[in-house]
């Protein structure tokens, strides 16, 4: 069965303190690995899709990378507005379903 495990569950950073979030996955035939941002009381907002090992995507202070077993979301010099829960999800080939991890709750203090 597909599994997605995110760590840590919660992360507190000072503004400007770079760090990485981890997403370990087990899936039979990966179509794509997805990163979303979720603010409290709102729906997830799409950030990136990664399709194959070695791929990297960037958006502002965020960079996502992918290996055959895990993905990292690197946050460079975070700001308080980056505070949110970051969700990772995997989708299998020939299947529309997207299986989510429980997320990492990021807090960035000014």
Partner 1 sequence: DAMVIQNPRYQVTQFGKPVTLSCSQTLNHNVMYWYQQKSSQAPKLLFHYYDKDFNNEADTPDNFQSRRPNTSFCFLDIRSPGLGDAAMYLCATSRDSGVGGYTFGSGTRLTVV
Work out the burial of residue 16: count CB atoms within 10 Å of its CB; fewer than 13 is exposed, 13-18 middle, 19 or more buried. Answer: exposed
Give which of 77, 81, 80, 2 is closest to 34, Cα–Cα: 2
Q: Does 28 bind partner 1 (CB under 8 A)?
A: no
Number of residues that bind partner 1 (CB under 8 A): 26
Q: Which of residues 50-79 bind partner 1 (CB under 8 A)?
A: 51
Return the structure tokens found at 3: 């599994």
Q: Does 34 bind partner 1 (CB under 8 A)?
A: yes
> Residue 66 in contact with residue 4, Cβ under 8 Å?
no
Q: Does 104 bind partner 1 (CB under 8 A)?
A: no
Q: Which of residues 84-103 bind partner 1 (CB under 8 A)?
A: 87, 91, 96-103
Closest approach, Cβ 4 to partner 1, in A, equals: 7
Return the structure tokens found at 106: 């990021």
Residues of this chain that bind partner 1 (CB under 8 A):
4, 9, 31-32, 34, 36, 41-47, 49, 51, 87, 91, 96-103, 105
């Amino acid at each position: 069965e597909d599994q997605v495990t995110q760590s840590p569950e919660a992360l507190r950073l000072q503004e400007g303190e770079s760090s990485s979030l981890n997403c370990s996955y087990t899936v039979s035939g990966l179509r794509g690995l997805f990163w979303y941002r979720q603010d409290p009381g709102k729906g997830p907002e799409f950030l990136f899709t990664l399709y194959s090992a070695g791929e990297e995507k960037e958006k502002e202070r965020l960079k996502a990378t992918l290996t055959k077993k895990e993905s990292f979301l690197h946050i460079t010099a975070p700001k308080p507005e980056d505070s949110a829960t970051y969700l990772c999800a995997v989708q299998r080939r020939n299947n529309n379903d997207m299986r989510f991890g429980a997320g990492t709750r990021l807090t960035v203090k000014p």
